[in-house]
Every structure is written in C-alpha cells, then in structure tokens.
Structure 1
Amino acid sequence: MYLNIFANGQQPLDMTDTDEFRSLLDSAADLGIPHARDIAYRSCNVVLRQMRFHFLDWGAADAPPIVLLHGGHQSAHSWDLVSLHLAQRYRVLALDQRGHGDSEWARDVAYSNHEMSLDAEAFIDTMGLRRPVLIGHSMGGRNAMLLTRRDPSRLGALVIVDVGPELSDKGRAAIAGFVQVNQEFDDLEHFIRNVRQYDPYRPREHIERTVKYNMLERADGKYVSKCDSNPRRLNIVRGSGLLENVSLDDATRFDLPVLLVRGAKSNILAPEAAERFADALPRGTLVTVPDCGHNVHGQNTKGFISALNGFLETQAGASAA
C-alpha cells in the first residue's frame, strides 16, 4: 500500500488540495522558504522508452523550464521545498527516475547512469522543453553530466549538486551502508530514527513529513523501501567504463554555464576535487553551501536556494543582454 498520493493514470492530478501539500506549506513556513500564495502543482505520468515515469509539474506551463533529477534512494519529492520556491518564476519538472519514487521499476534491472541519462533526455524531448536548466543531485547529477557530455547544446544551463568526476570512496561506502540497512521495517519509527542518525541536519518533524515518499506498506504489514530492491539498483558500486563516468577532460567540453554546488561538510565531494572540477569547466562556478553535508538542498534549503537564485538571475541577465 502506498503512503502518498500520486496520479494513477494519464490525467494529471492537482496536488494543491491535499494534506501532503498542506504539510509541505507547514515545512516551508518553519524554514522560511519564500513562495507564492497560489502555485500550480500536479502529479503526472508519462511513457518514456517503453516505461512509465512519474513526475511532478510545478508552475505555469509557459514559464522558463527547469528539470530536476534526484539522488539515489530518493524521489522527485526530495526537491519539494525547492520546487515550491522556484515555481514562482519557472516551470519546474521533477522526475522520479527509473526504479525510484512512483516510477516503474525496470524489467531488465537496467539501472546504469547511462540508461538513466537517456531517460532524462527522452523526458526533455517528450515534454517539448527548449534548452531547460537541468539540475541534478548525486546520482541525478551524474546522469545530468552524462546527458551534457552527449550534447551540451540541448541545455540552457547545468547545476550539479555535490557530485563530480572525482568522488570519495569513504563517502560512497557510507551511503551504500545506509541504503543496505534501510530496506525493511516493522514500523516507520525505526526508519525515522535511522534517518535522523544519518542526517542530523534535518529536524525530526520534517523527516516525519517526508517518510511517506520513501517507504510503502507491504501486504504483511512491514514497511519497505519504494526503490527497486534488486542489488544492481542505485549504482551503489560506481559503474565502470566511458558510458558511466565523466572525466575532468570531458568537463572541459561542457560549453554552457555550469553551477557546481558543494555541501561544506560533504563526505562525497572533497573541496579539492570540487575545485578541480570547477576549474575544468569553461563557464563553471563553484559555490559551497554552509551547514550541510551531501544532501545540500534538503539539509540547508535556504542556503541552496540562495546559491541557485544567484546563478539563475545571472543567466536571465545574460539572456536579456
């Protein structure tokens, strides 16, 4: 049994009259996240590459587009506070990537970054988005980089959140460990305690409000992860080969504006690695957000929004000129 609400067919579902949306507004008020009073917010489904994908569509349909790609073991809802804020000026489309959230699980268990990057490319094309800003966190950031390497011209700008060509093995092992021990529970309180220990930056009440997007209730009454539980999912072990990895040399050909956002206490992207990545980018900017680790936009949402808005305003000014 699902614990959250989402569209169950081809017709978009208006989410603004749900308890979930009211809970989100409570979180925004707690954290001081600015947003408009009236926001369009819809749950939608689309078929891409012979699979059903769920996505959240925020803001006016004719506003400049932004596409969001979440990290591993997360969902499109990990961006909700950011999306709520951005929807004042942009059309924001947050995709549940294959095997995650409310999207379909891959029948062939194909969860490589390459396949996911092709999904994101198909999503942009199918939705008719012209040169969107693409924002990706962690796994989603790797997928975004692979898409960019194939064709930077299809994007207006790129935002990479706490990931890069050079990653910490210790940090990846910590994430893998958390994922592996958080698959099945007798009650949600156990999962909430684990998340609180792993992520001390987020208040307990905000974790409680979002747990519904990470777990579902199985027929036997146990709570299990919504992500495909096949061991090959989530890219816990980094894929090998050119299709799966972007190098610093590749980054020198990213001919578009790129914002690299690092959490000041990240255990995944070391300061020196972030600087090397930013230096390799022809039009790259590095911003380090304080008081957060790897999950920058969830742990210091206001700090992330501040960094992102500064970048987006720069791009809007350049377009106007």
Structure 2
Amino acid sequence: MTTFISGGLVRANDIRQHYLHFGGKGPQMLVLPGITSPAITWAEFADELGKDFDVYVLDMRGRGLSEAGPALDYSINAMAADAAAFAAVMGLENYHLLGHSMGGRIAPVAVTRYGATPKKLMIIDPPITGPGQRGHGATHEWFTDQISAGARGDMTVEDMRPYFPRWRDDQLALRVEWIHTCDPRAIIDFRIDVLEDDIHSELPKLEVPTHLMIGGQSPLITPEEQAEIAALAPKLEIHRIPEAGHMIPWDTPEIFFRLCREFFARA
C-alpha cells in the first residue's frame, strides 16, 4: 500500500514551490533532490521512507512544477533560501533534512546561511567543487542534451539508458517523462555557481548532527577529498558505500534505507 498523501503548491521565498507529501506520521523529513531530479523521480524512495517518516519532497526551482523562468535566480543561495522558507511556511518543526547531489550541496547552506533548523541533516554524494578545488567531470551538455531530447518528445527509454545503465526500465521511463521540466539555465547556473561557492567553509559551521553518504564508485568525492572533509569537520559522520555510484538510492536502495533509518532514529 502506498504512503502517498498528495501533491501541493505553496508560495515561499516569493516563488511557487511544488512538493509531494508521503507518510503523514512519524518525524518530519524534507527531501531536496538533485540537479535534474524533479520530485516525482524520488517518489518510490519517499513512498518507502513514508512508512517511518512524514516526508515532503521538494521540486527545486526550475524543475518539475515549481516556478521557473528567465528572470529567476538559480544560485545555491537562492535554492537554500527556498528550502528554509518552505520549511517555515509549511510549519515543519523538529524535521530532518535530506539532500542528494545538488540538494546535498544546498542543504548545509540552508542551515548555515538561511536559518533552517533541521533536527538532523543527511547529505548524499554532493559535489564539493569550489575555490581551489578540482572542476567538474561531466560537461553541461551531459545534462542539457537529455533535457533537449525530452523536450522534443521523441526520447525513449533506450535513449536514456546510456546515461543510467543500472536503472530499471520504469525509472528510466519516469526520467524521460519529466526531464523536459528542468530549465537548462537552472542546470548551467548551478554548475557555474558550485565552482565559486565555498562549501568547505560551511561544513565546519554545522552544529546539527550530520551524515555524509558517499558513493564509492562516484567521481564526486575521492577518498583523499573525504579525508580532507573529515579533517575540516570532525563531527561529521561519513559512510562510503563501495557498491554505489552517485545515484545511491537507485544503485543500492536497501543500504540507503538502512542508513537513513539508523541515522535518523539514533538519539
């Protein structure tokens, strides 16, 4: 039986924000997805988490059914302010904050710069590029080509499969259906901003219990970079999953759910 309750729209941080709601019981949890992951692509994971948590999955600005447009600010700061404002407008109290990829980069900033007050924070394989750090591996086109193909309406599951060869057909089909809702400028602007914004200066400021989950086969955080982060923020709990790539919930869902439940249940 599904734990899905409803979708909804709310105005927060002066933009339209769309969310999906699962569970309705237990500790509240706000999920911030990745750079080209509308909220609907997290539905299967939120549905499972909804057995234990009251889960809200946010469409980040420029994605899904949230506001987009040529005048919109797509910076890390703007999206972090969105997340903090959403939690406040929705009256979330004693909630947990979980961010994957781009969402994992935004979540700590929502706490350190914009007053978000989660009880616990989980950041999943975020990009840690920034001043003095190495640059991106993938190009802008790796993302925007998918969006263009989806927008034409002729993209197939087989066209998407080379991007995510480990995914099931239904997961690929859902991405094909929704990828066109991602604003290409939202992707490019974030990828530029993430090279300039200094996440390394924010991690040591986190007072909230924080878990960093890293994909062992992901290129985003090397073992050397993991050691650097651990030295910067010794209170940070770090778990590296050897079997997983960047898309940890898709690659190793059982491990993802277990680590979530263990971390968020711990006193």
What interval of TM-score do these two structures reach, taking the shorter chain for normalisation? Answer: 0.7 to 0.9
Aligned mate of 2:260, from 290, 300, 308: 308
Match of 1:236 in 2: 191
Match of 2:119 in 1: 156
1:183 aligns with 2:136: no
- What does residue range 15-164 of structure 1 map to in structure 2 within 5 Å? 37=1, 39-60=3-24, 63-150=26-113, 154-163=117-126
Q: CA deviation at 1:165?
A: 3.6
Q: CA deviation at 1:143?
A: 1.0
Aligned mate of 1:226, from 173, 181, 186: 181
Match of 1:203 in 2: 168
Closer/same/farther in 2, CA of residues 209 and 73 from structure 1, 3 Å limit:
closer
Per-residue CA shift, 1:237-294, capped at 9, x if unaligned? 23465xx3322x4322211211101111001121221232234334321112233211
**Which deviates more from structure 2 when the two are superposed, residues 298-307 or residues 272-281?**
272-281
Instruction: Tell me which amino acid in the other structure corresponds to 1:127.
Output: M
Question: Secondary structure in 1 aligned to 2:161?
Answer: helix
Per-residue CA shift, 1:155-176, capped at 9, x if unaligned? 1011111015447856x34152
Cα separation, 1, equivalents of 2:45 and 2:94: 20
Contact between 2:4 and 2:47, CA under 8 Å: does it hold in 1? no
Q: Which of the pair has more CA radius of gyration? A: 1
Query: How many percent of aligned residue pairs carry the same amino acid?
Result: 24
Per-residue CA shift, 1:168-204, capped at 9, x if unaligned? 856x3415231132232355444x3343112222123
Q: CA deviation at 1:69?
A: 0.4
Aligned mate of 2:233, from 271, 281, 305: 281
**Which deviates more from structure 2 when the two are superposed, residues 78-87 or residues 278-287?**
278-287
Cα separation, 2, equivalents of 1:209 and 1:121: 28
Per-residue CA shift, 1:114-135, capped at 9, x if unaligned? 0000000100100111131111
Question: Secondary structure in 2 aligned to 1:198?
Answer: coil
Contact between 2:128 and 2:221, CA under 8 Å: does it hold in 1? no
Cα separation, 2, equivalents of 1:253 and 1:77: 32
Aligned mate of 2:249, from 277, 283, 297: 297
Contact between 2:230 and 2:236, CA under 8 Å: does it hold in 1? yes
Question: Secondary structure in 2 aligned to 1:88?
Answer: coil
Closer/same/farther in 2, CA of residues 38 and 160 from structure 1, 3 Å limit:
closer
Question: Secondary structure in 2 aligned to 1:260?
Answer: strand
Instruction: Tell me which amino acid in the other structure corresponds to 1:141.
Output: G
Cα separation, 1, equivalents of 2:259 and 2:139: 25
Cα separation, 1, equivalents of 2:115 and 2:12: 21
Cα separation, 1, equivalents of 2:170 and 2:195: 39
TM-score (norm 1): 0.74
Instruction: Tell me which amino acid in the other structure corresponds to 1:52.
Output: R
Cα separation, 2, equivalents of 1:264 and 1:233: 26
Cα separation, 2, equivalents of 1:194 and 1:275: 37
Aligned mate of 1:255, from 189, 201, 207: 207
Cα separation, 2, equivalents of 1:58 and 1:274: 33
Q: What is the RMSD computed on CA atoms of the aligned residues?
A: 2.4
Closer/same/farther in 2, CA of residues 210 and 198 from structure 1, 3 Å limit:
closer
How many equivalent residue pairs? 263
Match of 1:212 in 2: 177
Match of 2:220 in 1: 268
Instruction: Tell me which amino acid in the other structure corresponds to 1:120.
Output: A
